Amino acid sequence: MNPPLLELPHLLEIAHARASLAPRFYAIVAALGSPRAVWEALHGAGVFPEPVGRYYASLRRFGVETTLDALFTAERLPAIRRFVEGPRAVGPPRVSVSTLANQFYCEMQVHLARTHTLRTESAELAAGAAGHAAFEAEAEEITQEEISEAITAGEPLELVEMPVTAEIHGVRLVGRADRIHLEGRRGRLVLEFKFSGRRELFPSHVVQVEAYGRMLESMGFQTDRLLYGVAVLPRGRRVSDALARKIAEAAFEVARAGLSATDARPPSGVPDPLSGLTVRRVDDEAFGLWVFRHSRQRVERDLQWATSYWTGARAPEGTMARGKCRACPFNAAELCGVSKAPPDGRYAVRRTLGRFGVTHVVQPASRR
């Protein structure tokens, strides 16, 4: 068979390049943090010229390791070499708002997710994605020019899935807010939808909306009367525009009835975003809603703590909650050195030796 022999030099060149470039390539990618940041870097360098949707689709289907491994082709090698060996602009670390919020569940989990490949099955994640997809599909397209005109004219504006980015405390925060209500240059409401069987307000929910509020402030919007709303809906529930408006109206109604912003307690260790928070709860058949006001002091306390991990000012902290450690897939995969309790014995762990390390696949046995 001649063709394979003819291709041999080609394959050898790829194999040599892979051996010399891959370790550094993977280290650079791991340091980038979020999948979006990785795609932007690879896309900008010509290593992954395809659109971001293709990158996410590949991550979902094959995982990060296989996706990156597949980039080592003859066509892409020059771009990979430039990417690895060329000078790189050093910018602030780029962090998604949802990752930042997850630090308030357990920061060590966020840290371990950056440094290890671990795939889990999660019914909650699937339900959240379904709810958001339904929500997005109904939203009316609006151009950047139309947004700018409405803001300049001081008109009320309801923005759905709005991309927001700002540099805060040396970190580039990026995210998409579920719903933001503006009136000219004044922020009126930041509303997030959560899909869960438990109607409960968690610290990570508070931080997520707070971060969007702080980012609006950085973008030049007034936030002195800004309201935050967190709506919890059953898993898989479709958020129609009518339902979203009803929830937003309920938030404004609660605020009109009286809602004060409170000062934050001084920070010590991991701040608790729920402490010092005046919050009103609305219970409807279709949703649970928590409404609270923006407090600069509280937001600063929470964001300063969270961003100091990303700037390298301190090491990651693990939660003190034993229950979280018991339910933690990183604990089940024996990756956490600061666990406070043994993992739930119902986890099934599969280890796959990948080309560049170990992939841990963890599935709660009860859901298989």
Residues at the interface with ligand SF4 (CB under 6 A) = 106, 108-109, 112, 318-319, 324-325, 328, 330-331, 336, 338-340
Q: How far is the CB of 273 from ligand SF4 (least distance, A)?
A: 17
Tokens 């609305």, residue located:
282
- 274, with CB counted inside 10 A (0-12, 13-18, 19+), is middle
Q: How far is the CB of 110 from ligand SF4 (least distance, A)?
A: 9
Specify the residue, 84 or 362, whose C-beta has the smaller distance to ligand SF4.
Answer: 362
Question: What distance in Å separates the CA atoms of residue 258 and residue 280, rounded to the nearest whole number?
Answer: 9
Q: How far is the CB of 114 from ligand SF4 (least distance, A)?
A: 12
Specify the residue, 116 or 186, whose C-beta has the smaller distance to ligand SF4.
Answer: 116
Specify the residue, 157 or 328, whose C-beta has the smaller distance to ligand SF4.
Answer: 328
Residue 27 has which token pair? 């280290």
Q: How far is the CB of 326 from ligand SF4 (least distance, A)?
A: 8
Specify the residue, 274 or 327, whose C-beta has the smaller distance to ligand SF4.
Answer: 327
Specify the residue, 99 or 223, whose C-beta has the smaller distance to ligand SF4.
Answer: 99
State CA 293 to chain mean position distance.
23
Give the 3-state secondary structure percentages of the chain, helix then strand then coil, rounded to 5. Answer: 45, 20, 30
Q: How far is the CB of 312 from ligand SF4 (least distance, A)?
A: 19
Cβ neighbors of 259 (< 8 A, separation 6 or more) are 227, 278, 280, 291, 292, 293
Cβ neighbors of 287 (< 8 A, separation 6 or more) are 231, 232, 233, 243, 247
